């Protein structure tokens, strides 16, 4: 599907798995990273209906139910690589425009369209299936990570239909201020502590992110209490 024109923060494309492919050149396990645009999707707390997520530890699970990537960052990569980065090319479910995903604060909440409520959970960490999907370009995982245009995983708090053209509205933004981009590039112990200190009855650090936080604090000689 073509990108939907918009002059406000919005979804410009929605994507689902087109075909399963091997996770790596030598793997017998399959990945659903090969995605393409469709007319509409239904998002749920466990992911996008009809999508294929074979590895729920890395690109799936409740805290990584939906992956969003910015059209602006895709355009940057298109210029860098000299090829089209069409919606779904990076394995995303939602292609946004006018939404600063790298600058999104971990834990901030968005309304998408009329019904869907999501929470920014953690940055995408590039992996071997992503490198294979991109044609096994030498050093692709490191290159993608070094650039820092990671996109973000979303937790789905209230599911429903999403289609191109749906508005994205930021409803709340945590005071801790730790953004997707800052956490991914810096892994600052002060930010790790700020995330833990921000936990409440209403918000908990995502499980996978907590593992990174523990590692960052241990490396700095600090504890998690």
How buried is 126 (Cβ within 10 angstroms: 0-12 exposed, 13-18 middle, 19+ buried)? Answer: middle
Confidence of residue 167 (pLDDT cuts 50, 70, 90): very high
210 inside domain: no
Q: Is the per-residue pLDDT at 114 higher than 90? A: yes
Of the candidate ranges 53-57, 86-90, 93-97, 214-218, the one whose mean pLDDT is the lowest: 53-57
- Sort 186 into a burial class: Cβ within 10 Å, 0-12 / 13-18 / 19+: middle
Mean pLDDT within 32-51: 94
**Secondary structure, 3-state, 115-151:** CEEEEEEEECCCCHHHHHHCCCCCCHHHHHHHHCCCC
Mean pLDDT of 187-216: 95
Here the CATH number for the domain that contains residue 33 is 2.40.33.20
Number of domains making up the chain: 1
Angstrom CA distances, 64 to 3, 18, 115, 122, 224, stand at: 24, 19, 19, 8, 23
Give per-residue pLDDT as tens, 123-154. 999 999 999 999 999 999 999 999 999 999 99
Interval 2-11: pLDDT, tens: 566 667 999 9
Q: Average pLDDT for residues 49-75, to the nearest whole number? A: 82
Cα dist. 187→195, 208, 213, 217 in Å?
11, 14, 8, 9
Closest CA to 168 of 1, 4, 38, 2: 4
Q: Which class for 30: exposed (0-12), middle (13-18), buried (19 or more C-beta within 10 A)?
A: middle
pLDDT recorded at residue 56: 47
Residue 182 has pLDDT above 70, yes or no: yes
Q: What integer is the mean pLDDT of 23-44? A: 91
Average pLDDT, the chain: 92
In a domain, 207, yes or no: no
pLDDT, greater one: 52 or 53:
52
Q: Determine the pLDDT at residue 109.
A: 98
In a domain, 142, yes or no: yes
- Residue 220 in any domain: the answer is no
Q: Are 156 and 65 in contact (CB under 8 A)?
A: yes
Mean pLDDT of 68-97: 97
Handedness of CA 164, 79, 17, 169 (dihedral sign): negative
pTM equals 0.92
Model confidence at 53: pLDDT above 80:
no
85 within some domain: yes
Q: Provide the pLDDT for residue 35.
A: 95
Q: Which of 53-67, 77-91, 128-142, 192-206 has the lowest mean pLDDT?
A: 53-67
CA distances (Å), origin 20, targets 47, 73, 139: 17, 25, 23
Note down the domain range covering 39: 10-184
What are the structure tokens assigned to 41, written together?
């999707």
Instruction: Assign 21 a pLDDT band (cuts: 50, 70, 90).
Output: confident
Residue 224 forms part of a structural domain? no
Does residue 61 have a pLDDT over 90? no
């Amino acid at each position: 599907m073509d990108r939907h024109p918009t002059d406000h923060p919005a979804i410009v494309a929605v994507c689902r798995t087109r075909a399963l492919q091997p996770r790596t050149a030598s793997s017998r396990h399959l990945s659903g990273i090969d995605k393409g645009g469709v007319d509409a999707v239904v998002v749920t707390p466990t992911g996008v209906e009809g999508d294929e997520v074979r590895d729920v530890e890395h690109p799936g699970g409740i805290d990584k139910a939906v992956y969003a990537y910015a059209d602006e960052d895709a355009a940057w990569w298109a210029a860098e690589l000299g090829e089209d980065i069409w919606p779904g090319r990076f394995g995303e479910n939602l292609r946004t425009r006018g939404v600063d995903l790298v600058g999104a604060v971990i834990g901030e909440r968005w309304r998408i369209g009329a019904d869907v409520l999501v929470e920014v959970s953690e940055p995408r960490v590039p992996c071997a299936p992503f490198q294979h999907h991109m044609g096994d370009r030498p050093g692709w995982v490191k290159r993608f990570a070094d650039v820092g245009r990671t996109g973000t995983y979303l937790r789905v708090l209230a599911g429903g239909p999403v289609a191109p053209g749906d508005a994205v509205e930021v409803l709340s933004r945590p005071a801790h201020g730790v953004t997707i981009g800052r956490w991914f590039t810096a892994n600052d112990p002060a930010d790790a502590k700020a995330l833990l200190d921000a936990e409440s009855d209403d918000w908990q650090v995502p499980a996978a992110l907590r593992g990174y936080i523990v590692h960052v604090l241990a490396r700095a000689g600090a504890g998690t209490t």
